[in-house]
Amino acid sequence: MEVAVAEVGLIIPAAGMGTRLGSELPKALHAIGGTTVLAHALRAGVGSGTVSSIVIAAPSRWETRIHEQLEYELPDTVEARVVEGGERRQDSVRRAMDALPGNIDIVLVHDAARCLTPPALFGDVVSAVAGGHDAVVPGLPVVDTLREVDDRGVVVRTPDRTVLRAVQTPQGFRREVLEDAYRAAAPDEPATDDASLVERTGHQVHIVPGHSEAFKVTHPLDVLLAEALLARRASS
Ligand SMILES: Nc1ccn([C@@H]2O[C@H](COP(=O)(O)OP(=O)(O)OP(=O)(O)O)[C@@H](O)[C@H]2O)c(=O)n1
Ligand SMILES: C[C@](O)(CO)[C@H](O)COP(=O)(O)O
């Protein structure tokens, strides 16, 4: 179904601790190239020119520091709210969804940790949702051979990687589709991304081409990559 009026809201789950990064601060407040991970992510989302509202899920007890980021990064035209994140990413997204303003038709969910995502990717996802898709996810072909293993570490299957995609964010949804998916999910039902909850409700999830620069800052090596990418962007 085509979305005629498209007010777009952006949810940024930013409440993770960055355990794999080994950061002293929550990952969203970790500085890369002199700017926090969250500020980079906000620049990307706002820079896309597609969003009118942002809800950030903040690590508990760090809400004030998260608010400070907004003062520097947001134009007056974009409304922003901060909510306390939850234990798991999906809990954080659920809380942020409850805080979205009523006028939002399309919801983007974008990891703070995918902080250098090119703004154009937000536009690609919004266009695909506005064009009639219920749920849209950027994905890249898989470059490694994958193995499914059992709990002893023994290989049970080698999936055909040509039909697999490594999915990224921003993931975009018609608002009611995402809300229904979260309503339908049992609280203890794990999901590593939002589209998998939507998939379980029977809606089709559409893939658009992802971008190598939308990588997730997860391990220390990713910080080196992000710094190199920022330096290249600054020099071009
Ligand atoms: N309870 C949580 C956990 C994660 N996230 C957010 O979800 C995104 C993807 O999570 P990930 O990269 O795994 O971040 P962390 O949870 O911080 O990483 P780690 O598992 O290494 O602690 C991040 O922007 C993170 O802040 C969140 O909002 N709430
Ligand atoms: C949402 C996500 O970024 C899509 O690839 C990913 O699933 C998050 O995983 P994490 O282990 O919570 O970082």
pLDDT digit string, tens, across residues 188-233: 899 999 999 999 999 999 999 999 999 999 999 999 999 999 999 9
Angle 210-214-218 (CA atoms, 0-180°, nearest 5)?
A: 130
Q: Which ligand places an atom closest to the C-alpha of 27?
A: 1
What phi, psi does 111 have (nearest 5°)? -60, 130
> Does the global pTM surpass 0.95?
yes
Beta bridge partners of 166: 140
Q: Which ligand places an atom closest to the C-alpha of 83?
A: 1
Structure tokens at 1: 């179904």
Which SS3 state, helix, strand or coil, does residue 36 take? strand
The yes/no answer to whether this complex scores an ipTM above 0.85 is yes
Compute, in angstroms, the gap from residue 236 CA to the centroid of ligand 2. Answer: 30
pLDDT digit string, tens, across residues 78-106: 999 999 999 999 999 999 999 999 999 99
**Does residue 177 register a pLDDT over 70?**
yes
Residues spanned by the domain of 169 = 8-231
d(CA 57, CA 181): 19
| Mean per-residue pLDDT of the chain | 96
- The verdict on residue 50 lying in a domain is yes
Q: Is the CB–ligand 1 distance for residue 219 below 6 Å?
A: no
- Give the mean pLDDT of 15-41: 96
Domain tally, the chain: 1
Structure tokens at 232: 């290249």
Percent of the chain scored above 70 by pLDDT? Answer: 98
- The verdict on residue 3 lying in a domain is no
- The verdict on residue 2 lying in a domain is no
Please tell me the residue having the least CA distance from ligand 2 atom 12: 192
**Does residue 41 register a pLDDT over 90?**
yes
Residue list, ligand 2 pocket, CB within 6 Å: 89, 111, 167-169, 192-193, 216
- Give the mean pLDDT of 104-123: 98
- The verdict on residue 236 lying in a domain is no
Alpha carbons within 13 A on the beta-carbon side of 43: 11
- The verdict on residue 40 lying in a domain is yes
Compute, in angstroms, the gap from residue 188 CA to the centroid of ligand 1. Answer: 18
Locate the ligand 2 atom nearest the alpha carbon of residue 109 and give its number.
1
- The verdict on residue 27 lying in a domain is yes
Q: Give the CATH number of the domain where residue 210 resides.
A: 3.90.550.10
Q: Are strands 135-141 and 106-109 parallel, antiparallel or unpaired?
A: unpaired
| pLDDT at 5 (0 to 100) | 60
- The verdict on residue 1 lying in a domain is no
- The verdict on residue 145 lying in a domain is yes
Percent of the chain scored above 90 by pLDDT? Answer: 92
Please tell me the residue having the least CA distance from ligand 2 atom 4: 168
